[in-house]
């Protein structure tokens, strides 16, 4: 009879070779499963994959390791997936991890810049901007102007932008396509960026990436992230600096200015309305803070 460790290796081979999970995702599963196995006696059998042991594992992560709820949820999701595999393989009749609830994350307000922070006058004057500085400014118009994820911007080609219609065709999560309007500021910044690319010997082409890397393929997401962090710091932003802050700001400002939530959901590419509704909480919280600061009876 196989040990639980051997079943784990079979599962990892399954997700890599049959399900074709990415190496990064497979490595996440491996680390989670090895961590669970380390909490059990050596050479544990399949019986050790029990609801009681999964609960004990989660409890240990929370109390002894003081692990963040999001990280615990990731470990538990890996165990649930492993359990489903064992049921499909007829090793088990039921998935022991199914009855262990994933801890709920505490509700947190998402960080975002104010509309004033992102006014054109807020950006510092740069006499002779570098290619990364110009790239960051064009990138901002896609992240804040159209609500793109940085990974979506990284994979964007020139052919996906239709300036005559004022639209960009975005390939999002799950290879889902959506059409999003672009700002009037995008075109001039992309033209300046094109000139910088040409100066660097990287002539833009219709099917080529908007943000090419050193070898001409799509620019690394980490490079684009560094561009945006530097740009946000130049604005004096002291909060969390990341490309996603601009996406948060995009959604928040649309709702603050009267956009309907379903339209915002479509532009963000959310599959669930609940994901978009966090921005209504942001706007409501901001109103409450303003009320407390200004109303004499607050």
| 117-125, Cβ contacts within 8 angstroms, sequence gap of 24 or more | 117/235, 117/237, 118/144, 118/235, 118/249, 120/185, 122/235, 123/234, 123/235, 124/234, 124/235
Q: Is 149 a catalytic residue?
A: yes
- Among 230, 138, 213, CA closest to 182: 138
- The tally of CA atoms less than 13 A away on the side-chain side of residue 95 is 19
Q: Is 270 a catalytic residue?
A: yes
CB 247 within 8 A of CB 148: yes
d(CA 139, CA 145): 9
List 135, 137, 225, 270, catalytic entry: 270
d(CA 189, CA 186): 5
Q: Is 173 a catalytic residue?
A: yes
List 7, 135, 247, 253, catalytic entry: 247
List 17, 88, 105, 173, catalytic entry: 173
Q: Is 176 a catalytic residue?
A: no
Strand partners, 27: none
- The tokens for 132 are 């990364």
List 149, 248, 253, 265, catalytic entry: 149
Q: Which residues are catalytic?
A: 149, 173, 244, 247, 270, 279
């Amino acid at each position: 009879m196989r040990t639980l460790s051997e079943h784990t290796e079979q599962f990892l081979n399954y997700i890599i070779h049959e399900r074709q999970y990415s190496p990064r995702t497979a490595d996440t599963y491996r680390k989670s499963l090895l961590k669970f196995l380390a909490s059990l006696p050596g050479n544990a059998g399949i019986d050790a994959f029990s609801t009681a042991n999964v609960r004990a594992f989660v409890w240990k992560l929370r109390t002894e390791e003081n692990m963040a709820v999001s990280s615990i949820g990731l470990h538990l999701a890996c165990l649930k997936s492993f359990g489903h595999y064992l049921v499909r393989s007829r090793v088990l009749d039921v998935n022991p991890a199914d009855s262990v609830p994933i801890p709920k994350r505490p509700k947190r307000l998402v960080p975002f810049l104010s509309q004033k922070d992102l006014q054109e006058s807020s950006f510092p004057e740069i006499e002779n901007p570098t290619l990364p500085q110009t790239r960051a400014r064009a990138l901002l118009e896609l992240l804040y102007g159209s609500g793109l994820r940085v990974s979506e911007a990284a994979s964007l080609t020139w052919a996906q932008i239709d300036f005559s219609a004022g639209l960009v065709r975005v390939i999002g999560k799950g290879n889902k396509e959506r059409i999003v309007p672009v700002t009037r500021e995008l075109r001039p910044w992309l033209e300046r960026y094109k000139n910088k690319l040409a100066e660097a010997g990287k002539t833009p082409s219709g099917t080529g990436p908007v943000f090419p890397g050193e070898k001409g393929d799509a620019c690394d997401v980490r490079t684009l992230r560094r561009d945006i962090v530097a740009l946000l710091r130049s604005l004096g932003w002291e909060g969390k600096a990341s490309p996603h802050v601009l996406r948060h700001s995009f959604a928040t400002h649309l709702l603050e200015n009267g956009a309907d939530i379903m339209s915002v959901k479509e532009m963000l590419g959310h599959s669930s309305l609940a994901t978009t509704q966090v921005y209504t909480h942001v706007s409501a919280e901001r109103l409450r803070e303003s009320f407390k600061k200004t109303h004499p009876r607050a």
